[in-house]
Amino acid sequence: MIPLEVFYFIFFSNWKLGLNLINKDVFIVEIQSKDLKSKTLLEKVKEFKDKGFIFSVEVSEGDFSVDFYLPLSGIFDYLSVKFNIFNPEKENFIRSIVELPYTLKAEDIDNNEDFDKALKLGFDLFEGEFFTKPEQITTKEDTVNKLEILKLIRYISEEEDLNDIAEAIKANPNISLRLLKYINSSFFYLKSPITSVNRAVSYLGKKNLLSWLFLLSMMSVAKNDIDKEVVRLALFRGKFMELLSLKINPDSNIAETAFLVGILSLAERIYKTDLKTILKDLNLSQDLEKVLTEKIGYFGELLNFVINVERNNTVEVKNFKKNYLLSDEEVADITVETYKWIDTMFEILG
């Protein structure tokens, strides 16, 4: 069993743009079956298949003819089926299609019943709210241990003296080593390595240091593959929203808040505790809770957009791009840059 986020699926509806915007080594391109009725598009897919691109076909509602998907199995490696609308006709289709050489991907898995059903039907990849919902906390002590780094974050957010901040970090050798690994990574073009925690803290400054610690804290509580993929999704939301905000408004302070909102949107699932506790331990304004729960205001709009991108809600995505005068190319560039950043962060923090 492999969680969906191990792979990067990008929904591709405007094929006339060409696939040159998409890194074939990073993405799997997903196309709805209803669009494959176009012979021109199908020929285009075959052309790029020969160039090394990997494709997934998403089953559109009502497109349940096995004969239609049989010849496509030589072109498409993956087949996606939504579970939000499930009926006997779709189940019979799945039982027939499972014999074909596709890797099956189940979408919109929102509860344990859907997950069990998809497993029994032979699906290999899974995506949905079920994997991002908070889990029940078993003990208070367990929660406290998982929020240890957040306590350090709170201390740093309240402390102005960089030397005192460096001393607090040096009290934890593991964090100190990770910090030095991060500062000497390819993110920073340093002429010579930094070997001092004090110098690393001074170089980063408080804001960048706090963002790094927050990412580190999320990685530290990820105990299994599904947890790690939720962290990956949180990083996607954060970085995507940051880059999107910079495209709309060059104010870096606004972009930093957008990044924070993105990763906090899955914080309950990652830390397995309620949002109020997390915001308190991070010393963050409780106003963020309203943004995250009700998705209101500018940051709420950005969060809604990235979630719609994840779910391939093409109508909502199109409306947002129209409202903010964003082109398909700009959103594609942001998506690619985001995934590259995530891979680098996982390599450094993992």
pLDDT band at 2 (very low <50, low <70, confident <90, very high): very low
Residues 168 and 19 in one domain: no
pLDDT band at 10 (very low <50, low <70, confident <90, very high): very low
Residues 24 and 162 in one domain: no
Residues 53 and 161 in one domain: no
Nearest by Cα to 345 from 227, 181, 125, 111 = 181
Q: Is the pLDDT of residue 135 over 70?
A: no
Model confidence over 173-209: pLDDT tens digits?
A: 888 888 898 888 877 878 888 989 999 999 988 888 8
Residues 118 and 185 in one domain: no
Residues 112 and 255 in one domain: no
The span from the CA of 180 to the CA of 150, in Å, is 19
Per-residue pLDDT, averaged over 231-251, amounts to 93
Residues 89 and 126 in one domain: yes
pTM score: 0.66
Q: How many CA atoms lie within 13 A of 250 on its CB side?
A: 0
Question: When comparing pLDDT for 329 and 112, which is higher?
Answer: 329
Per DSSP, 74 falls in state G
Burial of 60 (0-12, 13-18, 19+ CB in 10 A): middle
Q: In which domain, by residue range, is 239 found? A: 140-349
Q: Is the pLDDT of residue 6 over 50?
A: no
Residues 116 and 258 in one domain: no
Q: What percent of the chain has pLDDT over 70?
A: 87
Tally of domains in the chain: 2
Across all residues in the chain, what is the average pLDDT? 81
